[in-house]
């Protein structure tokens, strides 16, 4: 069953500078990470920046986080004092793909 990954950043900074720089570096090779079903990012009505992904499995998500995402995040945000996002993962009970 697919697996969800959610990150939420508290309201305040409405800039997407870090997100855009990280996305550009991750997408530089033009390949979609193995196991990624979809990725979304945007602001909620309350002003939180939310990232919501769905992956084929927890293991594929963990591999992506460790091997691809976190090294790029550390590179882009080095020296910045940033609050940690709220993160949540869970197995989906149901998933419909159009």
Domains and CATH numbers, the chain: 3-91 (3.30.70.100)
pLDDT at 83: 84
For residue range 40-73, list pLDDT tens digits in order: 999 999 999 999 999 999 999 999 999 999 999 9
pLDDT greater than 90 at residue 13: no
Nearest to 29 by CA among 60, 66, 68: 68
Distance (Å) of CA 97 to CA 6, 32, 37, 57, 75:
19, 17, 9, 16, 34
Q: What is the pTM of this model?
A: 0.90
Backbone phi, then psi, for 34, in 5-degree steps? Answer: -60, 125
């Amino acid at each position: 069953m697919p697996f969800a990954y959610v990150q939420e950043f508290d309201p305040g900074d409405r800039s997407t500078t870090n997100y855009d720089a990280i996305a550009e570096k991750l997408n530089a090779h033009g390949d979609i990470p193995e196991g990624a079903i979809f990725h979304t990012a945007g602001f909620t009505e309350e002003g939180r920046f939310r990232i919501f992904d769905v992956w084929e499995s927890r293991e594929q998500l963990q591999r992506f986080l460790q091997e691809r995402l976190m090294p790029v995040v550390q590179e882009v945000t080095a020296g910045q004092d940033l609050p940690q996002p709220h993160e949540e993962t869970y197995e989906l009970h149901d998933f419909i793909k159009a």
